[in-house]
Structure 1
């Protein structure tokens, strides 16, 4: 009952314990949508800088662009042709009522359609192409739009001093938004997830400034934030299934360990994996102890008190439940049996109960187990002394248990 109650208490705190350990190791998890919203807001705040650049701009020459697009429209077919024709129509300047009134005042005929010569209109054309690229599918269609955009961008670069500096800020924010989404996919097992070497290359390349950007990029930071947010999502949706939690984050092979090391460093990655392995081990043990109300686990809890009829589940499983190391769980089990038998032969039920409480928690756990293991392995301590050793360690508390 002591071991069973301790396991129940630990299970109840599993979610808090995992979240606290992750927060301590990786920091608090961000919300991806809020990161995206901040980036969008910062992009919108660049509008005054674009206006400032346009204030010093001269007229743009869109005739070469129009001729290029008309030629492309003659050779392309299907969706690429339609998109190029649409971009070409954006270069047409329709006279405004003010233009018409001005011409009439000068005794001139109303002006007709002409090519765009205002840098602001051409910038809006580039923005429209960007919006089209976000929803366009098909390699040929994307290539046609990308080339059209490049011709527009080249003219803006030549005619609007300082616009590329503002473009670099806008592009950096766009890269950060993309990195947040990318970070949320790095731990998945599907084809969309990068291989460890691909992720390492993305992090290295992502840190490099692009265009006229000054200073390193925040792309690696956004990749980490995306991955941290995904870990939090996995924990939130699998908190009651620690086995699934370990499988989803650690993965089946070693790729996720390598990915975590790339994003957070090897020490933090190791801490995360160790945490998940411990929780999985305890979840497995908890399942053994508590899964059936009147089967082996419950009977074994009573047998820990009265071992005479016990074939083998009780205080030994308390070692496992308390997170004892592999020596006690595997090859060392027979040694532990001998130690337990020595205590049982003493007939001291209170000592057994105290031992159970100690081995399922507390900083003295390892020291007690180590001392008992030494006795069972045939050290100079006789079996008749084991009871006294255990009592001394139990009664001395954490300070005494940690003494050599």
Structure 2
């Protein structure tokens, strides 16, 4: 009997989870491979096995990643509750930043610019489970030390980002000097040794990478958070971008094949969410789809007008403008969100769209969206293009 396989993330909601035998694809036991990476048995990996991209993506964007993180933090808090503190204020717990305290999902969602530029924006959302541990430590009087592999040049933006996300009250934030040439393990272990030399007791150490916690002294107890970001997966790795690129390449090829009337009547219809703008920053702080959609919280996010552009769609948008096809933005967002939505689009470089269809006679040469509801129903347009969107199809 053939072994069951993990459901891929695509335009049909997976009916099954992603654990046990369901984590095996094409002879690769994906759940075992992931365990090997997390246990540091699989090393020097450059990317996830191609046959496991859907499996790891499901873990990250479904409830699996959040549950794994919650288990780690539950254990950390239980450990904190068991400690008898000295009362002299010398106990500290060391925190990493990237994928431990702050999530870089918005950066990996687009990968359209350098990480340093992204960090400079100071917009990374907090990882909610880590925030829970952080607040617990503050409440019991354990001092917080932020120890990151980021460079000293990123200090201002990093501190600003942490404060914006509600992290404060730390004892110190330690970043790599600009001229530091050694490994992350060497840097972090030497900084922890300095804490011991100053008389502090490292009661705990938490990070998402083994380099965050390996190297003497580690601390009385270490906690390793899961981090699929660095092993690659569907939404945040290259797969999603490649799928989107294929769609846009086809759309641009189609545009190049058109013979335009020259009367300015050709239009192309665009959806907004997960087509023109990415809402990964919102999902990063709302359980990656593990919690039900909440219109009120999403409206608050939309009001910030901070969603990043999806770069492949931007490429199509610019192509249309260059050949004289008018873009029309048609979204399921509410009218009350108009100002924030338009502001967000303009901030991301989208402009030149038609504000309204002034009269009849326009020809819809194309229609693009991530949901079937964006493109189904007459009239669809001369040709429709369906972008991938894992966010709405995760279990």
Question: TM-score, normalized by length of structure 2?
Answer: 0.24
Could you say which structure has the higher helix fraction?
Answer: 1
Q: Looking at both structures, which has the greater relative contact order when contacts are Cα pairs under 8 Å and sequence separation is at least 6? A: 2
